[in-house]
Amino acid sequence: MWGESTLAENLTVSINNRKGVDKDMSRDSTDALEDLKYRREKAHMGGGIKRQESIRVSGRGTARDRIRNLLDEDSFVEIDTFLTHRTTDHGMFMHETLGDGVVCGHGMIDGRRIYCFAQDFSVHGGSMGEMHAKKISKVVEMAERSKVPIVGIWDGGGQRAQDGVASLGGTGELLDRLVQCSGRIPMISLVLGPVVGVSALGASLADFTILGNDHGQLFMSSPLETPECINGEVDAAGLGGATLHASRSGIACLIADDEEEACALAADILGFLPDNNMSSPPIELTADDPTRLNPDLTSLVPDNPNRPYDMVKIIEEIVDDGIFMELFNSYAENIIIGFARLDGKTIGVVANQPKVLAGCLDIDASIKAARFIRTCDAFNIPLVTFEDVPGFLPGVVQEWGGIIRHGAKLLFAYAEATVPKMTLVTRKAYGGAYLAMSCKHLQSDYNIAWPTAELAVMGAEGAVNIIHRREIAAAADDKKEETRLQLVEEYKTKFGDPYVAARNGWLDDVIEPEESRMRLIRALRILSSKREWSPPKKHGNIPL
């Protein structure tokens, strides 16, 4: 009996001790959870409530506000919430901020997976320190491994001076990751505040860069260091504002009126793109009949070959539901680029704009179109070219500026592209510009023309002035104009229609304008399985 009593007493003591231990462990667990909650709330505070409210008062959102605007509700999963800088110089040990001024993670846009990051202007003005850059590098690398798009929201004052050369080291790693992603996954930059220095290079490495109208600014050199700004000749907006980059530098593909629109534009662009270069673009079902005829096209192009018209109306008449997302619409307006759909499939549109410089190709137009063609080719997006081009723009400015080299970029991009390529000639296709605009000789897959099209070395007037200059000079003074007009008419009869090219196989067909949509869709369907072999090489040497 004594043994049983002792055993019971020992068991009671053990149970009471265990309860005490469990109570202590429960207290430790609660404390740990409270500590986690405190740290997470501290990370969400960024540079503090006062600075965040100051940002909101200025009309801008905080980093987390912007991510909420960008992503589907409750889809954001944050990464590296508790990362901090490791700089001790210049009193930085007293300014340790969780997250180090950038919010990174992944989420959904319209149900599609993406990675994203947003610089936090409330922390050291959004400046990029070593760990800040490494944090973005990490999420970019994760996006590349996962083969999903990445969207970056930029708002920061360049590299952090307190970090010294370490900030440049981290930024260099980031730039390398961005370059490695190029052509593999779609990259979109939203510039919603001032972005200075090497950070501006990072933002512009994206496939598409969208600037906020009110606050989006990109500078290679700070306005505080630019002589024209110091002297008062130009302000910050004039040096690197959204309008400047949309119309002059060609960096901004779109300008957003506010931050919500910027996020919506990014979502719209992603809607046309695949997740990566090994995937096909998404197909969007449409009620627009693939066999729909386009009777309005007959009247949209003037009978007079010298009269302008709006090529955008031609495009909108042909594509699904009349929806055409034009990009870079304020830069090199003589050429049009953008996304649309045919039969529910994404297409990249490249078109001459006859109402600007008569649709001539110049330096800026060649660069604009070449980059877009290479983007479409990288992401398996078929190209549809609407052609009405009288030639390359003549002049000393163009020649001295390198129109030969820049025009070669356009030709190179078309010849290099292996996606389905289709071309519709609506009116003029003259000279070297005809060759550069996805002609049959550059392995274009389907080339068609309207009966109004002219494929020739140059226009009849110019050709006659060269070929028959002696004959015209020899004619009597009162007969010179009559002789010239007669020769022009003869030249038009011989070369001023598409049938010469069609007889040689350089056009696949001459069609009625109202059949344009139906013909392009039929071609796109058969070309969807196109595969093109190229000789092994590291890469071509495009004339940059």
- Per-residue model confidence (pLDDT) at position 8: 52
Average pLDDT over residues 380-406: 96
Percent of the residues in the chain that have a pLDDT greater than 70, as a whole number: 92
For the chain, what is the radius of gyration of the CA atoms?
A: 31
Average pLDDT over residues 28-33: 82
- Per-residue model confidence (pLDDT) at position 295: 95
Q: Is pLDDT larger for residue 529 or for residue 496? A: 529
How confident is residue 32, by pLDDT bands cut at 50, 70 and 90? confident
- Per-residue model confidence (pLDDT) at position 366: 97
Does 360 score more than 80 pLDDT?
yes
Percent of the residues in the chain that have a pLDDT greater than 90, as a whole number: 62
Does 6 score more than 60 pLDDT?
no
Does 367 score more than 80 pLDDT?
yes
SS3 label, residue 372? helix
Average pLDDT over residues 183-204: 94
- Per-residue model confidence (pLDDT) at position 88: 64
pLDDT digits (tens, 9 = 90+) for 384-393: 999 999 999 9
In the chain, the N- to C-terminal Cα span, in Å, equals 99
Question: Nearest to residue 219, comparing CAs of 176, 150, 159?
Answer: 159
d(CA 302, CA 313): 13
Does 5 score more than 70 pLDDT?
no
Q: Is pLDDT larger for residue 31 or for residue 134? A: 134
Helices first, then strands: H and E counts in the chain = 21, 16
Average pLDDT over residues 188-199: 93
Write the DSSP assignment of 92-128 as a string of letters.
Answer: GGG---TTTTEEEEEEEETTEEEEEEEE-TTTGGG-B
d(CA 363, CA 28): 68
Cβ–Cβ < 8 Å for 205, 187: yes
pLDDT digits (tens, 9 = 90+) for 483-501: 777 777 777 777 778 998 8
Does 217 score more than 50 pLDDT?
yes
Question: Nearest to residue 418, comparing CAs of 442, 386, 437, 434?
Answer: 442
Q: Is pLDDT larger for residue 404 or for residue 472? A: 404
Phi, psi dihedrals of residue 55, rounded to the nearest 5° = -65, -45
Q: Which two tokens stand for residue 209?
A: 């860069």
Q: Which two tokens stand for residue 261?
A: 């629109």
- Per-residue model confidence (pLDDT) at position 243: 93
- Per-residue model confidence (pLDDT) at position 11: 45
DSSP class of residue 51 equals: H
Does 279 score more than 50 pLDDT?
yes
- Per-residue model confidence (pLDDT) at position 236: 81
User: E-strand spans in 390-442?
Assistant: 421-430
d(CA 150, CA 381): 19
How confident is residue 2, by pLDDT bands cut at 50, 70 and 90? very low
Does 346 score more than 50 pLDDT?
yes
Does 78 score more than 60 pLDDT?
yes
- Per-residue model confidence (pLDDT) at position 500: 87
Name 314's Cβ contacts closer than 8 Å, sequence gap at least 6.
297, 300, 301, 351, 386, 426
Q: Which amino acid is at 397?
A: V
pLDDT digits (tens, 9 = 90+) for 18-27: 555 555 556 6
Does 59 score more than 60 pLDDT?
yes
Does 459 score more than 80 pLDDT?
no
Which of 260-274, 301-315, 463-477 comes out lowest in average pLDDT? 463-477
Average pLDDT over residues 409-416: 96
Does 533 score more than 50 pLDDT?
yes
Q: Which two tokens stand for residue 390?
A: 């009288």
Average pLDDT over residues 442-470: 84
- Per-residue model confidence (pLDDT) at position 93: 57
How confident is residue 177, by pLDDT bands cut at 50, 70 and 90? very high
Which of 79-93, 147-161, 234-248, 328-342 comes out lowest in average pLDDT? 79-93
User: Which domains, ranges and CATH numbers included, belong to the chain?
Assistant: 54-272 (3.90.226.10), 297-453+497-527 (3.90.226.10)
pLDDT digits (tens, 9 = 90+) for 117-140: 999 998 888 888 888 899 999 999
How high does pLDDT run on average in the chain?
89
Name 249's Cβ contacts closer than 8 Å, sequence gap at least 6.
331
Question: Nearest to residue 128, comparing CAs of 99, 93, 157?
Answer: 157
